[in-house]
Structures are given as structure tokens and as C-alpha cells.
Amino acid sequence: MILVLPRLYLGNISDVEDVQHLQKTGITHILTVDSVQPDLSSFQTKFVNLLDDSSADILSCLPECLHFLKEALAMAESSVLVHCHAGVSRSAAVVVAYLMNTTSCTYEEAYRRLQDTKSDIRINEEFVNQLALFEAMGCEVDMSSASYKQYRLQKITEKYPELQKLPREVFALDPSSVTQTKEVLYRCRKCRRSLFRAESILNHSLGAGPVAFAHKRLPVLNSSDSAKCTSYFVEPVQWMEESLLGVMDGQLLCPRCHSKLGSFNWYGEQCSCGRWVTPAFQVHKNRVDEVKPFPICGR
């Protein structure tokens, strides 16, 4: 058990088995990030069920972990132990995230700082990638950001490879189920049915343009428009659910008039700008209209 910051310790499973030593050290709170929950009835605890492998989603667990640590350390007489089985990957990733969040440092800075204290830490590569996204979001988990939504969709394909069942939270609210809204909506150009909200668009950085399609031997255009996106890539919306279950790719049709809007592919598709998007739920811009709320004077 290593002291990382005043009243914040990092350890492993053997540390939590020595209750007398924990009490002597002044530990009052224990955060367990492991696949097995230890019996720690003498302490205030938080258990996060997580494996140490490439499919594990530690990023989505960080808000509850950080909240637990901050609440515990806000108490003057409390001390906290963060542990996993070996104390080198999962628990280390949480402590690194805590350092990033509370000191606004980069992942590299937080990692080096922790490694100076505990030289044997080895955070697995997938967790490192997730902490890089955590850093890009300002050292917090912004569940409304396009980057996080895209990340969660990628994790869904890993967790449900057959796609026979998808959690309800994957699907954004169907805007047609809301009678009044002040949000920007996108409607089917043919029948005017509301399809998705502006916040459901998952923006991406522009790709290399025509160069990215050289393997297809397409003519290279001189116009700067050739590198622009001709589709919106969106998060799945409730009306898409029936089409997405059990298949890896297919067409996206308007739920009212059944006109073709675009396509989807859980493995990903290439945008017209050249950027590869995974997974991809693509609606062609020329099949929808943007509808902005109309301000009413005096209201």
C-alpha cells in the first residue's frame, strides 16, 4: 500500500485483507476496482466490477469513482485506499484519472507522477487509450460529447458482437415523440417526419479528401468541396432499433415514408471527406432538411 497523495493510497488485494493494518493507517474508505467484491464491512466502500482486459470500459466508471474519492477526501479525518487485484493497472488508471481531474495535468504527467511513487504500475493499453479520450474531454467524462458517444458505440459492438440485444440507453430519443422542442431538428425531405436532433450528430475531423479514395481510382477533383462531408453521422435513434438488431450493416429508411436516408455499418464506413467512422450511422444531407426553432416575439 503506497501513499500517493495526502490521505490517498494505492494498493492491491493483499492490502485489504489486513484489516488491522488498514485501521492503524487510518483508512476509512476503500474503492475496489476488480471483478470480485471483498468483504469490507468495517469501512465505507465503493465497488466497481471491472476486468483488466481490452474490452473493459473504465472510462464510463470514472465519474462514480472520482465522486467517491472527492467526497471521502473532503472529510478532514478520512483516508482512502484505491485497489484492484494487483494494484498496477485498474486502480492505477483511476488514480491517474483523479490526478488529471484535480490538477488539470496531462495523462503523461499524471502517469509519471504516479510511477515515481509506485514504479511497478503498468496500465493496460486500452485503458491508456480511454484516458487519452478523458484528457481530450478536459479531464472529465462528458457524456454529451460526440467523442464519448462514438466511444460508447464502439464498446457496444465489442460487448454485443451478435447485436441481438442492445441496451436502451444506446438509442437517442426519437424527436417525433416530443410535441414541442426548442432544439434544431432534421426532418425527412420527402415526408417531413422528424428524424434526429442536432445533438445526435457525431462530428468528426475532416479526412484526406479524394486522396483517401485513391484505391478506388476515382477522378481527383480540384474543387475544395470534394473534401467535404456529404452525410451526417449520427448516434442511433429509437426509430432505427428494429433495423439495427441482429445485422451488421444495411439501409436506413424513413420510418414513415420508407424513402432511403442512408446506411449503417457497425464495422464502420468511410465518409465522403475520406475519414473512416466506426461504427457508422450515415444519413445523406440531401435527404433531410435542417429545421430551426422559430423565435416568437414577446416570449
Q: pLDDT digits over 159-195, tens only?
A: 887 777 888 888 999 999 877 778 899 999 999 999 9
* Prediction pTM value: 0.84
pLDDT score of 178 = 79
Q: Are residues 197 and 231 in the same domain?
A: yes
Q: Kindly state whether residues 18 and 119 are assigned to the same domain.
A: yes
Burial of 195 (C-beta count, 10 Å sphere; 0-12/13-18/19+): buried
Q: Which has the minimum average pLDDT: 91-100, 130-139, 151-160?
A: 151-160
CA dist 164 and 170 (Å) reads 14
CATH number, domain at 269?
2.170.150
- Spot the catalytic one: 61, 65, 84, 254: 84
Cβ burial 162-179 (10 Å sphere, 16+ → b, else e): eeeebeeebbbebbbeee
pLDDT at 209: 66
Q: The domain containing residue 131 runs over which residues?
A: 2-142
* Percentage of residues in the chain having pLDDT higher than 90: 79
Q: Are residues 137 and 228 in the same domain?
A: no
Residue 179 within any structural domain of the chain = yes
Same domain, 192 and 238: yes
Classify the C-alpha dihedral 249-156-204-108 as positive or negative: negative
136 shares a domain with 56: yes
Residues 134 and 194 in one domain: no
What CATH number should be reported for the domain holding residue 133? 3.90.190.10
State the cell numbers at 164: 441481438
Count of structural domains within the chain: 2
Q: Is-catalytic flag, 61?
A: no
